[in-house]
Every structure is written in structure tokens, then in C-alpha cells.
Homo-oligomer: A and B are copies of this chain.
Amino acid sequence: MIKLGIIGAGRIGKVHGESITNFVSNAEVKSIADPYMDKETETWAESMGITGVYKDYKKIIDDIEIDAVLVCSSTDTHAQISIEAAEAGKDIFCEKPVDLDPARIQEVIDTVEENGVKFQVGFNRRFDHNFKAVKDAVEAGKVGDPHIINITSRDPEAPPIEYVKVSGGIFLDMTIHDFDMVRFLSGSEVEEVYAAGGVLVDPEIGEAGDIDTAVITLKLKSGAIAVIDNSREAVYGYDQRAEVFGSKGSVRVENDRESTAKLSTADRVEEETPLYFFLERYMDSYAEEIKSFVNALENDEEVPVGGEAGLKPVLIGLAAKKSIEEGRAVKISEVE
């Protein structure tokens, strides 16, 4: 039985806590820590059978019974906590992004290596049933050599403007998942980025120095071309589609819906809109990624999404940002 500590008791920390309690039979959450620990979270922890409830995450780092930590705190603390955990010999599951500064991520990677611990980054979409199916088809050679990768990734609504201001910008906050997906699905590295963007959803986002609509073209080492389109507001729901087109064909996935119901009336034939909320849409993938982490620990195997997977999308995001600022294609080597 692997013993875990969760650092950060916000939404995603609790999601992981519930996944582990309900679905991961070979692990248990021993402790949870959050500087803003409150009564509600304590009650929740009790219902999950979590016995250690702290404000100070160091209590978890220092607990020799704990095998691994889940870093679910605010982004600006990910690197520091990961480094401390690595130095304490804990295996680490760290939410994305590891940091907004590539140098700092490299530091985490180096510390992890020096201490011989495992380090997995929380790109949960890789564990989603749909994207996994695309990856499986590509790996099985069903589409041949990938030529074009098409990702549509649109949020149902823009986050609060206060969040936008500290988010690091659309590319590091939202598109970072899609950058990871391009690497995952193509099996190739990104060499050059061109981004076109605008403020079409909400002028306040523009005033906050960000954009809300973007199309990003990525040239890959393999020669393939990937294109991502993003919007902060798809009124019909969370739009999460992908296609890999190659020499032998194409594989693509559509959105998930609550049911398959199709209603035909005098006016139209209608179906349900895509699932709206990201936790509803990706709930299973959160459980799957933690299972994969725990299994890697149990079997002492490589984690499926390692440190490099934490670093590369941040570099791509910085290149995309630079591309928007300078109105030209930017090589990844320019931002390394």
C-alpha cells in the first residue's frame, strides 16, 4: 500500500484525493496540507479516511511514512515544493505547469534526477479515453506517418479576469495542454511556432494583456504540421477534439455528451451539447493518471509523463507568446 500526501487542498487536490480513495486500490492518502485549511476540508478529509490534516506542507515532506507527494498547490509554489520533496526522497506527482520559467523547471528536473526520485507531471488529458484512442491508433500505425495534427480546444467560458491576470497568459494556462497533446499524439518535438491571436470574446481580457482567441501552427521535427485553435468561450460547451491525419488515413475524436439521445421534431433533429465542465469531462482521466503514477511507483517503472514533458510545453508557450508579440514564426531554440 503506497502512502501519499497531498499538498494543496483546492479543487484539483480534492479530485485526486477522491480518485485515490475510490479507485486506486494500491494507494491511500495519509495526509493533506493547505495554508488555508478550513473546517469544510477537514470534514472532507475525515470522510476520505485521511488522518493527517495540516496547514504546513512540511509536515508531509518530513513524514517518513509517506512515499510520495501530489503537488496541487498554486503554480508559483510547484517548483519549490517539488525540490524539497525530491530532496526528502519522495516521489512526486506535480500539477501543470511545473513553473512558468523554463530554468526553474530545469532545476526541478535536475534535483529529481540527483535524488533518484520519480516525477510525473499532471497532463491528465493523455489518460482520457478519447485522446488515448487517437494515440493508440497512431502508435499502431493505422494512420501511417502523421502529416497534419489538428486540435480544437475551446473553453466553455472565460475564467474570472483576476485569474486571467495571473495565469501567465492563454498559451501557458490553456494551450499548454494542447502543446502537450501535440507532442503526445505526434511522437515528435516542436521546432517552430507561429501564433495568430485576438481579443474577440471579452475586451477586458485584452486590457489584462492577454488574448482570448488563437490559432497556433507548429512545425515538428518529423516534418508534420500541427495546428491548434483556441477560444476562451464556446457557448455550447467544452470543445475538445483532435485529429491526426497521415499517410494511411486519419483518426479523430469528438466531444463527449451526457447521453446519446437524439430528438427529432418538426423543426430540427437535436442532440445534447458537449459536457460543459472540465471536471465532468475529464474526471476519469484524473483517476487514470494517478493510477499510472502509483503503478509506476509500485513496479519501480518509469512514469508515463516525466520532467521533460513538463518543460517542453512551457518552451512552446513562450515561443507562441513571442510569435504574437513579434508577428513572426519563432523557433523553440530561440527561447531555450
Contacts and interface: CB of A to CB of B under 8 A. Distances in A.
Q: Which of A148, A227, A237, A329 has the most CB of B within 10 A?
A: A148
A273 B267 contact: yes
A116 interface: no
Nearest to A227: B215
B261 A252 contact: yes
Indicate the size class of the contact surface on chain A.
35 or more
B263 A200 contact: no
Interface in A213-264: 213-215, 217, 219, 223-225, 227, 229, 231, 233-237, 239, 245, 247-256, 258-264
Interface in A1-53: 22-23, 25, 47
Interface of A: 22-23, 25, 47, 129-130, 132-134, 137, 142-143, 145, 147-148, 150, 152, 154, 194, 196-198, 200-201, 213-215, 217, 219, 223-225, 227, 229, 231, 233-237, 239, 245, 247-256, 258-274, 327-329
A129 B197 CA distance: 31
Q: How many copies does the complex hold?
A: 4
B152 A150 contact: yes
A190 B137 CA distance: 37
Contacts of A229: 148, 150, 225, 227, 245
Nearest to A213: B147
A250 B267 CA distance: 12
A129 B22 CA distance: 21
Given A215-B217, A252-B261, A329-B194, A235 B266 contact: yes
Contacts of A234: 245, 249-250, 264
B196 A235 contact: no
